[in-house]
């Protein structure tokens, strides 16, 4: 009987141990699952934090780059404005010279002035002429490189240089630019119109005699261009001479005369060739 009781108790004790062991295992499994869940949650949180850190880093980099770009744009804008201003001033100076402008620099503490007159024709800079002018006690030209055939003293008297220096310089500039323009036209005639012979011209380029050949009849035409207005590049008179006495009065050559009076000679000759008037 005692042995039976002892066996039952031993069996019950074993069952209790097994039950406890199973409970412990279940608790451990539950704990493991819980820990795994926490680990996964921590991993997810870590990845989220990494993503946030990367986003913040990228935002900071973009902000820095944007700030640098703004600084660069600011510097570039300043540079571009300066370049635009420089170009504008160059264009103004270029236009100033092309319309016969001149530059004046005071010297000797206001007692004198140096004047530079640039000449140009058809957007091409040509010669530059200079004058040194005494302003005190009286206004007078001390030195210059104006060509001798330009009536400098007469222009000074006619335009009352003593009281209005600007009017005198404006008039002188017109004379010099007109002379430079006529001289340039003569040069272009010689360079571009080999079939036209320059028979005569003077140093002021105020007289130009050209010899044309009429293609069909092979008739020679002597054309005289007279530039009596020395402030202009166009002739005031065109005279034609030919063995064919009727040719100068023909409608075609009357048109040619008008063309020569209204158009620079080197351009007029191009039109006359196209019309078949000259070879």
* DSSP letters spanning 28-65: HHHHHHHHHHHHHHHHHHHHHHHHHHHHHHHHHHHHHH
Q: What is the CATH number of the domain that holds 241?
A: 3.30.390
Please check whether residue 217 lies inside any domain of the structure: yes
Minimum mean pLDDT range among 81-90, 171-180, 218-227: 81-90
Please check whether residue 127 lies inside any domain of the structure: yes
Q: Which residue would you say has higher pLDDT here, 47 or 254?
A: 254
Please check whether residue 173 lies inside any domain of the structure: no
Mean pLDDT in residue range 248-263? 96
Please check whether residue 6 lies inside any domain of the structure: no
Name the pairing type of β-strands 140-144 and 237-242.
unpaired
Where among 93, 112, 131 does a domain terminate? 93
Report the C-alpha gap between 184 and 50 in whole angstroms.
Answer: 79
Where among 93, 120, 155 does a domain terminate? 93
Please check whether residue 176 lies inside any domain of the structure: no
State how many domains the chain has: 3
Please check whether residue 235 lies inside any domain of the structure: yes
Task: Compute CA 84 distance to the chain's CA centroid, rounded to the nearest angstrom.
Answer: 9
Residue 15: pLDDT band (50, 70, 90) is low
Where among 93, 113, 147 does a domain terminate? 93
- H-type alpha helices, 99-199: 152-158, 165-192
Report the C-alpha gap between 220 and 243 in whole angstroms.
Answer: 7
Please check whether residue 15 lies inside any domain of the structure: no
CB 221 within 8 A of CB 211: yes
The tens digit of pLDDT for each residue in 27-49 reads 656 665 665 666 566 567 666 76
Judge if 204 and 156 occupy the same domain. Answer: no
Judge if 146 and 200 occupy the same domain. Answer: no
Q: Which pTM value belongs to this model?
A: 0.65
Judge if 144 and 80 occupy the same domain. Answer: no
Report the C-alpha gap between 207 and 204 in whole angstroms.
Answer: 8
Judge if 116 and 161 occupy the same domain. Answer: yes
Please check whether residue 126 lies inside any domain of the structure: yes
Report the C-alpha gap between 35 and 33 in whole angstroms.
Answer: 5
Domain containing 33 equals 22-93
User: Which stretch of DSSP H or E encloses residue 71?
Assistant: helix 2-98
Judge if 204 and 229 occupy the same domain. Answer: yes
Task: Compute CA 269 distance to the chain's CA centroid, rounded to the nearest angstrom.
Answer: 33
Count how many residues are written for the chain. Answer: 279
Residue 270: pLDDT band (50, 70, 90) is very high
- Give the torsion through C-alpha atoms of 158, 161, 162, 167, to 10 deg: 110
Judge if 26 and 82 occupy the same domain. Answer: yes
Mean pLDDT in residue range 124-131? 90
């Amino acid at each position: 009987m005692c042995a039976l009781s002892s066996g039952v108790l031993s069996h019950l004790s074993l069952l209790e141990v097994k039950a406890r062991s199973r409970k412990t295992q279940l608790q451990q499994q539950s704990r493991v699952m819980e820990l795994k869940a926490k680990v996964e949650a921590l991993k997810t949180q870590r990845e989220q934090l990494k993503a946030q850190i990367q986003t913040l880093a990228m935002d900071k980099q973009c902000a820095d780059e944007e700030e640098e770009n703004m600084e660069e744009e600011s510097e570039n804008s300043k540079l571009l404005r300066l370049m635009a201003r420089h170009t504008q001033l160059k264009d103004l100076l270029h236009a100033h010279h092309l319309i016969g402008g001149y530059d004046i620099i005071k010297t000797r503490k206001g007692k004198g002035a140096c004047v530079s007159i640039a000449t140009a024709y058809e957007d091409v800079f040509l010669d530059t002429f200079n004058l040194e002018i005494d302003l005190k006690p009286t206004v007078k030209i001390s030195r210059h490189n104006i060509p001798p055939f330009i009536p400098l003293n007469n222009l000074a008297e006619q335009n009352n240089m003593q009281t209005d220096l600007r009017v005198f310089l404006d008039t002188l500039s017109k004379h010099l630019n007109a002379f430079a323009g006529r001289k340039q036209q003569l040069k272009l005639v010689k360079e571009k119109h080999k079939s036209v012979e320059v028979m005569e011209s003077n140093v002021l380029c105020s007289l130009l005699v050209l010899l044309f050949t009429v293609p069909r009849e092979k008739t020679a035409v002597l054309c005289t261009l007279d530039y009596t207005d020395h402030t202009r590049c166009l002739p005031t008179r065109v005279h034609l001479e030919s063995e064919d006495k009727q040719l100068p009065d023909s409608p075609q050559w009357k048109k040619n005369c008008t063309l020569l009076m209204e158009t620079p000679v080197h351009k007029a000759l191009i039109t006359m060739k196209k019309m078949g008037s000259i070879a």
